[in-house]
């Protein structure tokens, strides 16, 4: 029987892209009461709002997914906000959880916390071997600091924390806003729109030589919920596929799925970000008996189909109005 059965679980960011998938998996695991704080009601960067949230949720377990995040452009535009918001949310939530005697706190970190020139595959022990890539360092450092906080709280207070490092996420329901989207959603939107408008050229950021590891959102949710159920240690754990792809190869796959057969150009004035990303996932396989099950091709196909269904639905609504 799952250790989550009949537990009250608070999921920050539970209404978001990853949060919806995590909440669905929690319900499958027997969690009966799931509290999802909304940002319009609870500003988690404020301690008084966090206190009110705990009064309302009375959680046994907290899963902290909420974040202020975006692609390279958003990180370049808002480094101060991304550091402050992500740092303060985590600090406030962990401290309040300690004060309230919460049974377990699960912090979902980011692959951006790893050093810029980390040797691939990234082992959890490599987390502290250098500084993150500059464009997302404020976000990555804020998230990395929370791993230190959980370790310190475990040693001084016996606080039960879990710290997870997921690969880059994608899937249906992702953020497709051109100002803040990550690479998969941005490419799907750009290539699909090029097909619809008859454009023969699509320009992507960077050189295309950097590599990334992509994790389908439902696989990520399964790994997070398994970790919530089974782990009782703040030692960082990677959650990913263990496979990488260059951005140029990714563009080619997405273009094909979208039906785009024109030229793919590269804007070399835009930075690539971290040169490589690939996680060693052996600890998750050993401790959680978990592996990602959705291939990149299958996940991309589902995401393209979802995006197209949304645009068709928008057109239908526009036609009726």
Confidence of residue 314 (pLDDT cuts 50, 70, 90): low
> Is residue 225 situated within a structural domain?
yes
Q: What is the pLDDT of residue 16?
A: 96
Which one, of 61, 55, 72, 16, lies nearest residue 34 by Cα? 61
Answer whether residue 136 shows pLDDT above 80. Answer: yes
> Is residue 213 situated within a structural domain?
yes
Number of domains within the chain: 1
Over range 207-214, report the average pLDDT: 97
The domain of 151 spans: 8-320
> Is residue 3 situated within a structural domain?
no
Per the prediction, the chain carries an average pLDDT of 94
Q: What's the whole-model pTM score?
A: 0.94
Q: At 196, which helix (H) or strand (E)?
A: helix 183-197
> Is residue 1 situated within a structural domain?
no
In percent, the amount of the chain with pLDDT more than 90 equals: 88
What ranges make up the beta strands (E) of the chain? 8-12, 33-35, 61-64, 104-108, 161-166, 168-170, 201-205, 211-212, 214-216, 237-239, 245-246, 263-267
Confidence of residue 318 (pLDDT cuts 50, 70, 90): very low
Answer whether residue 216 shows pLDDT above 50. Answer: yes
- How does pLDDT run across 165-199, given as a tens digit for each residue? 999 999 999 999 988 899 999 999 999 999 999 99
Q: How far apart are the first and last CA of the chain?
A: 50
Answer whether residue 104 shows pLDDT above 90. Answer: yes
68 vs 320 pLDDT, higher one: 68
Confidence of residue 312 (pLDDT cuts 50, 70, 90): low
Active site residues: 139
CATH of the domain at 36: 3.40.50.720
Answer whether residue 127 shows pLDDT above 70. Answer: yes
- How does pLDDT run across 222-275, given as a tens digit for each residue? 999 999 999 999 999 999 999 999 999 999 999 999 999 999 999 999 989 899
Beta-ladder partners of 64: 12, 107
> Is residue 264 situated within a structural domain?
yes
Q: What is the pLDDT of residue 311?
A: 75
For residue 319, the SS3 value is: helix
Answer whether residue 315 shows pLDDT above 50. Answer: no
Q: Cα(258)–Cα(188) distance, rounded to whole angstroms?
A: 7
- Per DSSP, the residues of 205-237 read ES-S--EE-EEEHHHHHHHHHHHHHH----S-E
Over range 291-312, report the average pLDDT: 94
> Is residue 190 situated within a structural domain?
yes
> Is residue 158 situated within a structural domain?
yes
Q: What is the pLDDT of residue 99?
A: 98
> Is residue 60 situated within a structural domain?
yes
């Amino acid at each position: 029987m799952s250790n989550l059965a009949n537990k009250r679980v608070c999921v920050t960011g539970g209404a978001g892209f990853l949060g919806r998938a995590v909440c669905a998996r929690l319900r499958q695991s027997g969690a009966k009461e799931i509290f999802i704080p909304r940002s319009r009601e609870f500003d988690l960067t404020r301690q008084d709002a966090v206190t009110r949230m705990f009064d309302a949720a009375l959680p046994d377990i907290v899963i902290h997914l909420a974040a202020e995040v975006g692609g390279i452009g958003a990180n370049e535009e808002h480094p101060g906000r991304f550091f402050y918001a992500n740092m303060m949310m985590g600090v406030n939530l962990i401290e309040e959880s300690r004060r309230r005697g919460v049974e377990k706190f699960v912090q979902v970190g980011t692959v951006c916390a790893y050093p810029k020139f980390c040797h691939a595959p990234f082992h959890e022990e490599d987390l502290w071997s250098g500084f993150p890539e500059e464009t997302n360092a404020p976000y990555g450092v804020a998230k990395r600091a929370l791993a230190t906080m959980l370790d310190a709280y475990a040693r001084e207070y016996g606080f039960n924390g879990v710290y997870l490092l997921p690969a880059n996420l994608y899937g249906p329901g992702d953020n497709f806003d051109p100002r803040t989207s990550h690479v998969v959603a941005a490419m799907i939107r750009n290539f699909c729109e090029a097909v619809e408008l008859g454009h023969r050229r699509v320009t992507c950021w960077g050189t295309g030589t950097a590599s990334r590891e992509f994790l389908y959102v439902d696989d990520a949710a399964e790994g997070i919920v398994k970790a919530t159920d089974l782990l009782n240690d703040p030692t960082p754990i990677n959650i990913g596929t263990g496979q990488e792809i260059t951005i140029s190869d990714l563009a080619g796959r997405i273009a094909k799925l979208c039906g785009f057969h024109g030229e793919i150009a590269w804007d070399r004035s835009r930075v690539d970000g971290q040169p490589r990303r690939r996680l060693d996932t052996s600890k998750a396989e050993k401790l959680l008996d978990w592996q990602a099950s959705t291939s990149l091709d299958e996940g991309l196909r589902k995401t393209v189909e979802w995006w197209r269904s949304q645009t068709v639905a928008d057109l239908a609504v526009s036609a009726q109005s």
